[in-house]
Chains A and B, each alone.
Chain A
Amino acid sequence: MSTIAVEIVSAEEAIWSGSGTMVYAPAEMGEVGIAPQHAPLLTRLKPGEVRVQQENGEEQFFYVSGGLLEIQPHVVTVLSDTALRAADLDEAKAQEAIKQAERDLQEKTSEMELAKAKAELVQAVAQLRAVEKLRKTAR
């Protein structure tokens, strides 16, 4: 029986790799069953279950929370997401990253003001000392 290589990976670790006679995956447009020599296909995955039927009749199950599926005639690649993904969720995260940067910028201005004030203070003290010295020598 012919088999197809299967690789299931997530960004943080490799989950499984091996070969199977049939692979089922929850594609966005509905579940797909992949036999060896399937036509090249690229699709997104929904959260669900990836099943791999192995040659010895055993079945492997994996839960994916979404991701991408690539099919080449000789290999199936499942790029599983580890993070929960949604357009608005990504947007919220981006906003947070921007806000953080802006907030720090404001802090920076206050820090800068502090530094400036300190420098001015040092100058004033030095002037004061100079004046005192002048007075002493004048006496």
Chain B
Amino acid sequence: MAGAKEIRTKIKSIQNTQKITSAMEMVAASKMRRAQERMRAARPYAESVRRVMAHVRLARLEYRHVYSIEREVSSVGYIIISSDRGLCGGLNINLFRSALESISEWDEKGVSTKFGIIGNKGLGFFRRFGGNILCQATHLGDAPQISELIGAIKVMLDAYEEEKIDRLYLVSNSFVNTMTQSPQIEQILPIKGVELEEKLPEYWDYLYEPESHVVVDALMLRYIESIIYQAVVENIACEQSARMVAMKSATDNAGNLIDELQLIYNKARQAAITQEISEIVGGAAAV
């Protein structure tokens, strides 16, 4: 009964792993629900800022903000939103792959790239990749606050204002449903047109207090921050659901493995018993 003991220990260890993965699956499931709620909670602000932005763009304003002016591209910036932790399937890798595709497109045109990284995994990847990382924000936890992101966002915006970068993209996962998350790349700066459904009279402008540019600056900042915050919250929902799916399949795989090993174990045991009996019978016959 040589192999039986080893097989038994192996089954035991796989069972332990299975316990862990199934626990992680349940944790991820409950965290996912909360992350989705946060995602929904952030939506009204994003919509309101968007609406106000659309109004402002329609208003007859002389002041043209630097964020809305297109210029020739010699360097692009990426804000890459990744998860802090692993064990979430191909979520981060898919995201990085689509980012790299876009980066190599710019590379061919001789445009340099700079990065602002949110999340530990992205940081590790782009450090190995050798990117020029301007700023980072990691360890945001499950409930990130906008105040934790302000610093990193400001660095990228400053870089844009100082013409160190001429475009800013946001790379993040969008939450399609629990089973599907898809990486997306969105241009943040220069700000593209914001669609508006309602009709407003053509000639009008706001009253601005104190000055139009002060107020518009503040609005632009909040608009961009809200886009990025929304993306971060959405990415967390993606992370949790990806982890849930990955852990579920790990648990299932462990179950299959255990079944197979159990079969092998039974066979080995049976073979050992058969052998023993035939030895006894053989021994008795000899006497």
Q: Which chain A residues have a beta carbon within 8 Å of chain B's beta carbons?
A: 7, 9-14, 17, 27-29, 39-44, 67-68, 70, 72, 77, 79, 81-84, 90-98, 100-101, 104-105, 108
Give the dominant DSSP class at B's interface.
helix
Q: Which chain B residues have a beta carbon within 8 Å of chain A's beta carbons?
A: 38, 41-42, 44-45, 48-49, 51-52, 55-56, 59, 123, 127, 133-137, 145-147, 150-152, 154-155, 158, 204-210, 214-216, 218-219, 222, 225-226, 229
- Given A79-B45, A79-B49, A98-B134, A11 and B146 contact (CB-CB distance below 8 Å): yes
Task: Give the residue of A14, A92, A101 whose beta carbon is less than 8 angstroms from that of B44.
Answer: A14
CB pair B147–A84 under 8 Å, yes or no, is yes
Q: Which of A12, A39, A91, A97 has the most CB of B within 10 A?
A: A97
10 contacts between A and B (CB under 8 A): A9-B45, A12-B146, A42-B206, A42-B207, A42-B215, A44-B210, A70-B52, A84-B147, A93-B147, A97-B152
Q: What residues on B are CB-neighbors of A98 within 8 Å?
A: 134-135, 155
**Count, A-B residue pairs, CB within 8 A:** 128
Known A40-B206, A83-B147; 20 more pairs at CB < 8 Å? A7-B48, A9-B44, A9-B48, A10-B45, A11-B229, A12-B145, A17-B44, A39-B207, A40-B204, A42-B209, A42-B219, A43-B208, A44-B214, A68-B215, A70-B55, A77-B52, A79-B49, A94-B154, A98-B134, A104-B133
- Given A94-B155, A98-B155, A100-B136, A77 and B206 contact (CB-CB distance below 8 Å): no
- Nearest chain A residue, comparing its CB with the CB of B56: A42
Q: What are the 10 tightest A-B residue pairs by CB atom distance, in nearest-first order?
A: A93-B151, A83-B147, A14-B44, A97-B135, A97-B151, A43-B209, A94-B154, A9-B45, A13-B41, A42-B206
Q: What residues on B are CB-neighbors of A83 within 8 Å?
A: 145-147, 150
Q: What residues on A are CB-neighbors of B216 within 8 Å?
A: 42
Q: What residues on A are CB-neighbors of B205 within 8 Å?
A: 40
Q: How far is the CA of A77 from the CA of B54 in the complex (A)?
A: 13
CB pair A14–B41 under 8 Å, yes or no, is yes
- Nearest chain B residue, comparing its CB with the CB of A43: B209
Q: What residues on A are CB-neighbors of B55 within 8 Å?
A: 40, 70, 72
Q: What residues on A are CB-neighbors of B38 within 8 Å?
A: 12
CB pair A101–B133 under 8 Å, yes or no, is yes
CB pair B41–A97 under 8 Å, yes or no, is no
CB pair A90–B150 under 8 Å, yes or no, is yes
Q: How far is the CA of A92 from the CA of B152 in the complex (A)?
A: 11
Q: How far is the CA of A67 from the CA of B155 in the complex (A)?
A: 21
CB pair B147–A82 under 8 Å, yes or no, is yes
Q: How far is the CA of A98 from the CA of B146 in the complex (A)?
A: 18
Q: What residues on A are CB-neighbors of B123 within 8 Å?
A: 104
Q: How far is the CA of A121 from the CA of B45 in the complex (A)?
A: 57
- Given A11-B226, A42-B207, A104-B136, A90 and B41 contact (CB-CB distance below 8 Å): no
Q: Tell me, rounded to whole Å, the shortest Cβ–Cβ distance linking B244 to chain A.
A: 24
Q: What residues on B are CB-neighbors of A42 within 8 Å?
A: 52, 56, 206-209, 215-216, 219
- Nearest chain A residue, comparing its CB with the CB of B136: A101
Q: What residues on A are CB-neighbors of B56 within 8 Å?
A: 42
Task: Give the residue of B44, B48, B215, B226 whose beta carbon is less than 8 angstroms from that of A43.
Answer: B215
Q: What residues on B are CB-neighbors of A91 within 8 Å?
A: 154
- Nearest chain B residue, comparing its CB with the CB of A10: B45
Q: What residues on B are CB-neighbors of A100 within 8 Å?
A: 135-136
CB pair A41–B206 under 8 Å, yes or no, is yes
Q: What residues on B are CB-neighbors of A92 within 8 Å?
A: 151
Q: Tell me, rounded to whole Å, the shortest Cβ–Cβ distance linking A38 to chain B.
A: 9
Q: What residues on B are CB-neighbors of A104 within 8 Å?
A: 123, 127, 133, 136
Q: Tell me, rounded to whole Å, the shortest Cβ–Cβ distance linking B108 to chain A.
A: 26
Q: Which of A11, A43, A84, A92 has the most CB of B within 10 A?
A: A11
Q: What residues on A are CB-neighbors of B137 within 8 Å?
A: 97
- Nearest chain A residue, comparing its CB with the CB of B229: A11
Q: Tell me, rounded to whole Å, the shortest Cβ–Cβ distance linking A109 to chain B.
A: 11
Q: What residues on B are CB-neighbors of A9 within 8 Å?
A: 44-45, 48
